Amino acid sequence: MGLPRKLMIEGETTVSETRTHVKVLFLPFLILVVVSGATAYLATQVGDVGGGVARWIVVGVGLVLIIVGAVLPWLRWITWTYTLTNRRIVEQRGILTRTGRIIPLSRINDVAYEKHLNDRLLGCGTLVIHDASEQEGLRLNDIPGIEDFHRTVSTLVFGEHEGDRRDESV
């Protein structure tokens, strides 16, 4: 999980690695359970009609629904990571094609978080990071332990900006 060592800058260390809260897998899990049960039930009800071809069709449709509704969302979740280092925040995602966004801590202007009622119950939230670029702010959705992550990011950003001020005064 997280940022491979070969992609890190010299002197850079990983402070925190996370992915979205496991709550995003609730619907895919429900799809897995319901489709599996329905497929098993329908396959036994169809029986050997047509030499078993109907049963194989039911099983095939069930497998496609499970792959699309449960396996692909799980793969998206497992491959979408957020890594906080002592120098930058890195978002990486993608199953076959990897994409990402990197924001150096020195360019971050604002760090905020949002927590809705269900987020408060589950202990997660959305971190919104604005930097000094023209791009829209980076939204890290459904981060578990959002307050701790927000505090860690803020501490690193303040430390980075303090270092910039010390460099300017010299």
pLDDT band at 151 (very low <50, low <70, confident <90, very high): very high
99, two tokens? 């994409």
Given a contact cutoff of 8 angstroms between Cβ atoms, the answer to whether 106 and 161 are in contact is yes
Longest dimension (CA), the chain: 85
Q: How far apart are CA 88 and CA 11, in angstroms?
A: 12
Q: What is the structure's pLDDT at 13?
A: 87
Residue 7 predicted with pLDDT over 90: no
Read off the pLDDT of residues 15-34 as tens digits, 9 standing for 90 and up.
Answer: 999 999 999 999 999 999 99
Average pLDDT over residues 90-117: 89
Q: What residues does each domain of the chain span? A: 25-76, 82-169
Average pLDDT over residues 101-126: 90
- Could you tell me which of 85, 94, 36 has the C-alpha nearest to residue 65? 36
- Could you tell me which of 108, 109, 110, 144 has the C-alpha nearest to residue 126? 144
Q: How far apart are CA 3 and CA 5, in angstroms?
A: 6
Read off the pLDDT of residues 42-99 as tens digits, 9 standing for 90 and up.
Answer: 998 887 777 788 899 999 999 999 999 999 999 999 999 999 999 999 888 988 898 8
Q: Which residue has the higher pLDDT, 132 or 139?
A: 139
Residue 125 predicted with pLDDT over 90: yes
Given a contact cutoff of 8 angstroms between Cβ atoms, the answer to whether 98 and 76 are in contact is no
% pLDDT > 90, the chain: 52
Residue 170 predicted with pLDDT over 50: no
Say if strands 88-93 and 99-104 run parallel, antiparallel, or are unpaired.
Answer: antiparallel
pTM for this structure? 0.79
Average pLDDT over residues 113-127: 92
Is 82-169 assigned to CATH 2.40.128?
no
Q: What is the mean pLDDT of the chain?
A: 87
